[in-house]
Amino acid sequence: MNNSNNLAPVSQAIRSSWERCERTHNLSRDVGNPILRLQTSEVAPRLEALIEHIGGRHGIFRKLAGVASDAGHCLVVTDKD
């Protein structure tokens, strides 16, 4: 099977994702932004708040990530900040 045929759905998915980001969140793919990485001390309280918000069911993210991975996708979880 031709490799370019396998990549066409992926390319369309990425293109659609960027269109949603531009339309919904006013993000631009042409702007170079630095990659920001949070320190453990910054992540820990956010994770605790998230786990509290979902009633302590943090294992659900492993299950959701597995479902996404099996479908050839990824799972991204973020807070409002």
> 1-43, pLDDT tens digit by residue?
455 567 788 888 888 988 998 999 888 878 777 777 888 898 8
Q: Is the pLDDT at 45 greater than 60, yes or no? A: yes
21 and 42 together in one domain = no
Q: What pTM was estimated for this model as a whole?
A: 0.44
7 and 26 together in one domain = yes
Give me the pLDDT at residue 41, please: 92
Instruction: Tell me the chain's radius of gyration from C-alpha atoms.
Output: 17
25 and 49 together in one domain = no
- Distance in angstroms (rounded) separating the CA atoms of residues 65 and 59: 10
Q: How many Cα atoms are found within 13 Å in the side-chain-facing hemisphere of 77?
A: 13
Contacts of 77 (CB under 8 A, 6+ apart): 50, 61
Which domain, by its residues, includes 5?
A: 1-30
Q: How many Cα atoms are found within 13 Å in the side-chain-facing hemisphere of 2?
A: 3
Kindly indicate the confidence band of residue 67, based on its pLDDT and cuts at 50, 70 and 90.
very high
Give me the pLDDT at residue 3, please: 55
Kindly indicate the confidence band of residue 59, based on its pLDDT and cuts at 50, 70 and 90.
confident
53 and 76 together in one domain = yes
Contacts of 9 (CB under 8 A, 6+ apart): none
